[in-house]
């Protein structure tokens, strides 16, 4: 499997040189290529982006307004030279991030430039410094862009404003208060492009990590007049809440939270176990109603913390269709072996079984130090 950083290798640099050479006859493509390739192999992906931007700036020596015009002129030429090679789109990354590095003092020119360039790769990283410095200016642009004919521009509004975009500058203001973004997402919640809808869902999933009830509220509002497009967004936007077993999300997604179940007997193999051993448990579910039901079956453990208090953690077990009077048996084990991502402490723990977010059975067990 090719390394991602190789998307900004020799072929990408020559692609950049050829594209600029088509629109600027004074550009020394050979000098740029030599400079950009020098020391490139030792650099990681984002270091390569910065290195290529520096080489472009040295070789072009233009003010930002002139550079902006050049970059926009490249767009149709760049599209005519598309390739199907993996990570080939990375070649446009330095061109787009050039705007963030050298255009931050000229937001109007820069934002219009990013709007034109985003179809080449995505300006979701480059636009974030502008959002931090000029939140009101950017928001005014975004209110227009959500109606743009180009799906890449509409997606940029959603993806570029995500509070916790992976690899991207964290937008702390929106982590604290996502209200301005919800105005934008509410326009995009029925977008015809799955490319845009997926971004809207991921954006809401980001917000749910800090404001789960805000996401649930807006999803309920959207659901009142939901098209299949909007319903798809709601389902994917709430995936983290489902994983966490958040009780209110199940009704939103159409799961029955008032299931008529036979009393659930949860059996634990050992009421006491030592660190490093596995907790083994089993139970059965039997539906007493008359219609088949979709069920999300989870288990949760209240882990003892270092201060003696407990912290509840939900784990996925299985999604099932439960038929009336049919008993489904479950058997599972959970290891208390030492791992780097979780510290275990001795004390009284509780195991619970959840069905569609509701606790249907629980048992305590004692975890002891070896």
pLDDT confidence of residue 83: 59
pLDDT confidence of residue 290: 84
pLDDT confidence of residue 89: 87
Domain spanning 267-368: CATH 3.40.50.300: no
d(CA 72, CA 36): 22
Helix/strand/coil for 355:
strand
Please write the tens of the pLDDT for every residue from 255-300. 998 899 999 999 999 999 999 999 999 999 999 988 999 999 999 9
pLDDT confidence of residue 1: 44
Q: Which long-range contacts (CB under 8 A, 24 or more apart) does 100-105 make?
A: 100/125, 100/126, 100/127, 100/128, 100/129, 100/130, 101/53, 102/57, 102/64, 102/67, 103/64, 103/68, 104/129, 104/130, 104/133, 105/64
Domain ranges within the chain, ordered by starting residue: 1-126, 267-368
Helix/strand/coil for 264:
coil
CA distances, 10 to each of 4, 73, 91, 205, 351 (Å):
13, 23, 10, 37, 55
d(CA 281, CA 308): 24
- Helix-strand-coil percent breakdown of the chain, rounded to 5? 50, 20, 30
Q: Which residues of the chain have pLDDT under 70?
A: 1-2, 79-86
d(CA 219, CA 216): 5
């Amino acid at each position: 499997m090719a390394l991602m950083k190789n998307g900004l290798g020799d072929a990408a640099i020559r692609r950049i040189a050829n594209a600029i050479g088509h629109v600027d006859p004074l550009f020394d493509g050979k000098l740029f290529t030599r400079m950009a390739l020098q020391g490139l192999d030792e650099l990681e992906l984002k270091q390569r982006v910065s290195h290529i931007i520096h080489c472009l700036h040295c070789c072009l020596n233009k003010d930002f307004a002139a550079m902006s015009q050049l970059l926009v002129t490249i767009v149709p030429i760049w599209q005519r030279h598309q390739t199907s090679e993996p990570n080939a789109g990375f070649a446009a990354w330095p061109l787009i991030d050039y705007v963030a590095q050298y255009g931050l003092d000229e937001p109007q020119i820069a934002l219009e430039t990013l709007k034109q360039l985003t179809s080449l790769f995505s300006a979701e990283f480059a636009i974030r410094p502008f959002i931090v410095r000029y939140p009101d200016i950017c928001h005014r642009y975004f209110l227009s862009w959500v109606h743009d004919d180009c799906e890449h521009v509409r997606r940029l509004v959603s993806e570029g404003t995500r509070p916790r975009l992976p690899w991207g500058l964290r937008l702390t203001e929106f982590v604290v208060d996502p209200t301005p973004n919800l105005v934008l997402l509410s326009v995009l919640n029925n977008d015809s492009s799955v490319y845009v809808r997926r971004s809207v869902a991921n954006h809401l999933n980001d917000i749910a990590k800090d404001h789960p009830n805000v996401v649930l509220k807006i999803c309920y509002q959207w659901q009142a007049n939901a098209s299949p497009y909007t319903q798809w967004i709601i389902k994917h936007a709430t995936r983290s809440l489902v994983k966490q077993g958040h009780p209110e999300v199940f009704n939103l997604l159409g799961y029955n939270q008032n299931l008529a179940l036979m009393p659930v007997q949860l059996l634990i193999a050992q009421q006491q176990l030592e660190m490093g051993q596995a907790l083994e448990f089993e139970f059965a579910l039997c539906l007493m109603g008359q219609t088949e039901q979709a069920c999300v079956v989870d288990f949760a453990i209240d882990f003892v913390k270092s201060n003696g208090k407990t912290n509840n953690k939900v784990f996925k077990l299985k999604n099932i269709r439960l038929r009336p009077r049919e008993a489904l048996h479950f058997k599972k084990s959970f290891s208390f072996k030492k791992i780097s991502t979780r510290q275990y402490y001795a004390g009284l723990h509780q195991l619970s079984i959840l069905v569609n977010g509701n606790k249907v059975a629980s048992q305590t067990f004692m975890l002891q130090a070896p």
